Amino acid sequence: MTTPQATALTIMVIDDSSTIRRSAEIFLTQAGYQVVLAEDGFDALAKINDHHPALIFCDILMPRLDGYQTCALIKKSAKFHTTPVLMLSSKDGLFDRARGAMVGSAAYLTKPFTKDSLLSAVREHTGGAPAVPSNT
């Protein structure tokens, strides 16, 4: 009889900047998370159903479908409406934060983020769950 393999929590990062995607991927992978990257909202919506992320980081300023629209669509989905979406932005204004909250985002992280701020946000919004759940 084999023991079930513990699977790492999956985190999705949606950002049109390859630098931001790569930084987030490195920080999250080193911490033991599975990472799914998306270049924009359309790319994310195509991937979300296959990967079922536990948490989604979403840039605001993106081509085609911006972060507010992407977040609103995720939150309207019966399957993913409870998935926390954290907005990523270089803009740190009250209006931007309020607009993010209006479309259902759980929090707002300002870029450039640090490894600590990124991992702290993940822990806070996944109930403090470790990257790889223990099977004890």
Task: State the Cα–Cα distance between residues 53 and 83, nearest whole angstrom.
Answer: 8
- Indicate if the pLDDT at residue 3 is higher than 80: no
Domain boundaries, the chain: 10-125
Helix or strand holding residue 130 (H, E): none
Identify which of 49, 51, 88 has the alpha carbon closest to the alpha carbon of residue 71.
Answer: 88
* Sequence-ordered list of residues with C-beta below 8 angstroms from that of 106, at least 6 positions apart, any chain: 84, 85, 86, 125
Cis status of the peptide bond prior to 63, with omega within 30 of 0: no
Model pLDDT for residues 47-102, shown as the tens digit of each residue: 999 999 999 999 999 998 999 999 999 999 999 999 999 999 987 778 888 999 99
What is the average per-residue pLDDT within 120-126?
A: 95
* Residue 32 per-residue DSSP state: T
Model pLDDT for residues 21-49, shown as the tens digit of each residue: 999 999 999 999 999 999 999 999 999 99
State residue 2's pLDDT score. Answer: 44
Superfamily of the domain at 10-125 = Response regulator (3.40.50.2300)
